[in-house]
Each structure stands twice: as structure tokens, then as C-alpha cells.
Amino acid sequence: MSSKNNNNSVAALPPTDSWLSRRRERFLEVSPGLLVAVVVAAGATFLSEHYGAPVMLMALLLGMALGFLHEEGRAVAGIKFTSSTILRIGVALLGMRITVEQIFSLGGTLMMVVIGAVLLTIAVGVGLSKLLGLGRDFGVLSGGSVGICGASAALAISAVLPQDKDAERNTIFTVISVTALSTLAMIVYPILAKSLGLDDQQAGVFLGATIHDVAQVVGAGYSMSNETGDTATVIKLLRVAMLVPIVFSLSLLLRRRDGAAAGGSKTALPLPLFIIFFVVFVGLNSSGVMPEWSQKMAIGVSSWCLVTAIAALGMKTSIKALLAVGWRPATLLVTETLFLAALILVILKFFV
């Protein structure tokens, strides 16, 4: 009996050993590409901190300069891993920026204004995208990135959209465009708010509800006043929180669409794991049980993950393919940006 038990124990060891071996092999496979992306992210961060350049844009451009690494060689697997898995980790950790208290402190009217503006921007994006012959998915991607939180939203939405031959190119184009537009808005919108006579709170609502990326919202808001900066930041975080229902809804709609195309064989609703963790982190941050240092660390890790993922996406992007996108996507993104700004200004002037 003892001999039999020993044999069973020995027989039970290989699967564990095999699992560990596979994990080790996987780590060795992805580490070269991951390391390259981290180095590029570090270079982009240095340029951003010392020269004021948008960190996402710098990561993209530096990554694109190293595009040959994705064509063949040891870095290919790691670049792919970084542009997908590391991206999702970064998006999930964005939940540590938000608390439920911050969202409800806005009041019902402002909450409805922000939520309505996000949904309308996406709807306009889908409609214009169809008119321009770009397809519904690109309209959702561009409208979501403009309406929610710029590059971060583009990355999160692209993670659940169908991955066709143009998906990565469209994502990179959207990230570049919204980053450039957000940087321009950071300069122009405070001047516009002052010229229109908006008070500190109104200016904060305008900046937080219209500028695409969080960093540019903070920069624009606090360049006017502390009250404007505080209001703009909270409004912006509400837009970031819209990632959850938007990505959840997209997952549901795409699952049904794919199930119908497959003859109804797909019936389950797989809510993306990174969105589940996003909600969990919002809950933890709202509960007050997390020490301040852990919140800061999570936000820092999130930023690094997103910049590293952007660098990897840049490496996967062909400049030639990007230039082939044409004028229509650029027109779409600019129109969505102007629509959102005009909508919020009209609401502030006449309804709030």
C-alpha cells in the first residue's frame, strides 16, 4: 500500500513541475519584448518630465521608431504580451483614481450632464463614422476616446472590439489624435473659458467634461485656480468611471452580434476581467481601507503599465499603414471634439 501511495505521489508531481516549467518558459519568452517596452516607457517619461511633452505621444513615437523589433526576433512575443496583458492591468488599476464619494459629490444634475455628454459623443461618433465610410467600430472607438478619457479609453475599448486587420492601426491613430487634441485643448480651453466669462466652477465643469486626457485636465484646471482644478478633476474622474458601463455594454452587444453570426451558439456574457478588477479597485478606494501609499503606488503602476503598453503598440504599428488612414478619421475625431465642447458650453450657458 505504501509503495502504491508513493507511486501516486510521484505521478502527481510532473503536472506541477510541468506547470512551473511552462510559466518559466513563458516568462523567458516575453521578457525581452517587455524589457524593451519598459525602456521605451522610461525614455518617454524622461522626455515628458523634462521637456513637457505628452508622455503617451512620446511613448508612441519612440515605439514606432523601434518597429523593426516586432517584425521578427526574440522581442515579438513580449511586445504582443505588453500591448495586451500589461494594457489590461493598467486599465484595471485606473479604478484606484476614483471613489464613489467623488462621483456623487457632483450632484444629480452635473452627473446627468456628464453621462449624457459621453453617450451623445459616442452616438455622434458612430453616426459620422458610418457617413464617412469608416464603420461602426471605429465610431465607437473614436467617440469613446473623446467622450470618456482619451488614450486610456481608446486602449480599454479597443481591448473588447473585434481584432481585425485594421484594429491596431485604428487604435494607434486614435491615441495619437486624441493626445494631440487634448494637448491643444489644455492650452486653448482655459483662454476660451475666461473669454466667455465662466466662473471657477463653470470653468472646471467645462474643462473636466471636454478635455480628453486626465493629465491635461489637471494641467488646464489648476492653471486657472484651485477651485477650477478640483472641479475639473472630479468631473474628469466621473468620465473615467464611465469606462465600466461602456465596456460592459460593448461586451454584451458584441457577444450577441458574434453569437448571431455563429448561429446562436454563443450565449454566455464574458465580462472582461480587467473591468471586473476596475470595479473592485473603485470599491477598495471608496472604502477607505487602503492606505494612501498603496493608492499612490497603484496609480503609479497604472501609469507605467499604460505608457509601456503604448510603447509596445507603437512597435507594432507601421508608419506606412498609419499614413494610409487618410483624412476621414482625422475629420471624425476633430468633429467629435468640437461637438463635445460646444455641447457642454451650451448646457452651461442655458441649463446649469
Q: CB burial class (10 A; 0-12, 13-18, 19+) of residue 68?
A: exposed
Question: With 90 as the cut, is the pLDDT of residue 189 above it?
Answer: yes
As a whole number of angstroms, the distance between CA 352 and CA 333 comes to 27
Of 235, 285, 216, nearest in space to 57 by CA: 216
Highest mean pLDDT among 29-33, 69-73, 226-230, 242-246: 29-33
Lowest mean pLDDT among 178-187, 191-200, 326-335: 178-187
326 pLDDT tier (thresholds 50, 70, 90): confident
Residue 232's identity, in one-letter code, is A
As a whole number of angstroms, the distance between CA 103 and CA 233 comes to 11
What is the Cα gyration radius of the chain? 22
270 pLDDT tier (thresholds 50, 70, 90): very low
Question: With 50 as the cut, is the pLDDT of residue 153 above it?
Answer: yes
Residue 183's identity, in one-letter code, is T
pLDDT at 11: 47
Question: With 60 as the cut, is the pLDDT of residue 206 above it?
Answer: yes
| pLDDT tens digits for range 288-300 | 888 889 889 998 8
* Mean confidence (pLDDT) of the chain: 82
As a whole number of angstroms, the distance between CA 290 and CA 307 comes to 25
108's CB contacts (< 8 A; 6+ apart) are none
Q: What is the DSSP letter of 211?
A: -
CB 259 within 8 A of CB 267: yes
pLDDT at 268: 42
What the block records as the C-alpha cell of 132 is 464617412
pLDDT at 244: 81
Q: For the chain, what are the domain ranges?
A: 16-350
Q: CB 128: neighbour CB atoms within 10 A?
A: 20
Question: With 50 as the cut, is the pLDDT of residue 130 above it?
Answer: yes
Of 150, 83, 90, 154, nearest in space to 309 by CA: 83
pLDDT at 265: 44
